[in-house]
Amino acid sequence: MQVYFNALANCLGHAGRRIGACVIDLLYPPDCALCGVRLHGHHSLCEACAGDLPRIVEPFCQTCGMTYQGIIDHAFECPNCSGLSFAFEFARPAMHKDTGTLDLIHQLKYQRSLHLAHELGKLAAESFQNDPRLAIALAEKWPLIPVPLHRSRLIHRHFNQAEEIALGISHQTGLPVIPALRRTRDTGTQTRLSRKQRMKNLQGSFEISKAGENLIGKNPHGVVLIDDVLTTGSTVNECAKTLSREGIRKVVVVTVMRG
């Protein structure tokens, strides 16, 4: 019972719009979100399923985390990234594109299984332990900045999955979550657009929020952008541009999955 009280206390600690989804989570039996086995305690994945999800390990592209199929023993940049310049230093997805991870992300976004954000945040937080490039973010307590949703989508979904995942990462790392960005317009779904079309579509679609202005006033050395999936990197690049323009010196990206 204590577990449920803790979970309820956690849920109620966040914005009121999340409460409905929270109660739904608490009413359903706590089965593993992937295999359905009955769980004890406040978990959404059994140990076997969590362990089986494929992590990205070296060697991978130092810019986007894409892995290399073959033998390579040095840091490399993949063909998608070579010759391109990004406003972020690097993006580090934790997981490969895989049906299990994708299923969890879809359950979170489209079935409003909010409890999965904690589990996905835990998976994404593994990058902070495994990637030495993120040690500075931990040491200097860089804030986690979720990629924002436009207000119209937020009304529909009730929560921003990137913010919920960031809260999960924060729980593991102790880094603060600061919603420093705002979307100025709805850029629609980008799945059918090429990289070039995405970049054009996203241009000028983010601005600094009130919380972001406070953050910039403190002159942080760096920040960590958080999103669920990294596909072409266009969205996080536009976010990074917006932050760099305001004087943030280093922007790195952490996502749950490489799309």
Q: Which stretch binds Zn ion (CB under 5 A): 34-42, 90-98, 107-115, 187-195?
A: 34-42
Q: Is 123 in the site for Zn ion (CB under 5 A)?
A: no
Q: How far apart are CA 165 and CA 256, in angstroms?
A: 8
Closest alpha carbon to 144 in 119, 169, 121, 122: 169
Pairing relationship of beta strands 222-230 and 250-258 according to DSSP bridges: parallel
Q: CB of 33: closest distance to Zn ion in angstroms?
A: 8
Q: How many CB atoms neighbour CB 249 within 10 A? A: 12
Q: CB of 141: closest distance to Zn ion in angstroms?
A: 28
Q: Is 116 in the site for Zn ion (CB under 5 A)?
A: no
Q: CB of 17: closest distance to Zn ion in angstroms?
A: 30
Residue listed under structure tokens 């690049």: 237
Q: How many CB atoms neighbour CB 81 within 10 A? A: 19
Report the residue from 21, 64, 94, 169 that binds Zn ion according to the rule CB under 5 A: 64
Q: Is 63 in the site for Zn ion (CB under 5 A)?
A: yes
Q: Which two tokens stand for residue 199?
A: 């970049």
Closest alpha carbon to 255 in 15, 136, 88: 88
Q: CB of 81: closest distance to Zn ion in angstroms?
A: 3
Q: Is 61 in the site for Zn ion (CB under 5 A)?
A: yes
Smaller CB distance to Zn ion: residue 46 or 108?
Answer: 46
Task: Give the list of residues 6+ apart from residue 214 with CB closer than 8 angstroms, or none.
Answer: none
Smaller CB distance to Zn ion: residue 61 or 239?
Answer: 61
Q: Which stretch binds Zn ion (CB under 5 A): 23-31, 62-70, 112-120, 222-230?
A: 62-70
Buried residues in 18-52 as b, exposed as e (16+ CB within 10 A): beebbeebeeeebebbbeeeebeebbbbbeebbee
Q: CB of 122: closest distance to Zn ion in angstroms?
A: 15
Q: Is 147 in the site for Zn ion (CB under 5 A)?
A: no
Report the residue from 53, 66, 226, 257 that binds Zn ion according to the rule CB under 5 A: 66
Contact 255, 93 (CB under 8 A): yes
Report the residue from 78, 102, 193, 211 that binds Zn ion according to the rule CB under 5 A: 78
Report the residue from 81, 225, 236, 251 that binds Zn ion according to the rule CB under 5 A: 81
SS3 label, residue 50: helix
Smaller CB distance to Zn ion: residue 119 or 238?
Answer: 119
Q: Which stretch binds Zn ion (CB under 5 A): 6-14, 40-48, 91-99, 227-235?
A: 40-48
Smaller CB distance to Zn ion: residue 32 or 216?
Answer: 32
Q: Which helix (H) or strand (E) holds 202?
A: helix 195-202
Q: Is 243 in the site for Zn ion (CB under 5 A)?
A: no
Contact 199, 237 (CB under 8 A): yes
Q: What is the binding site for Zn ion (CB under 5 A)?
A: 32, 34-35, 46, 49, 61, 63-64, 66, 78, 80-81
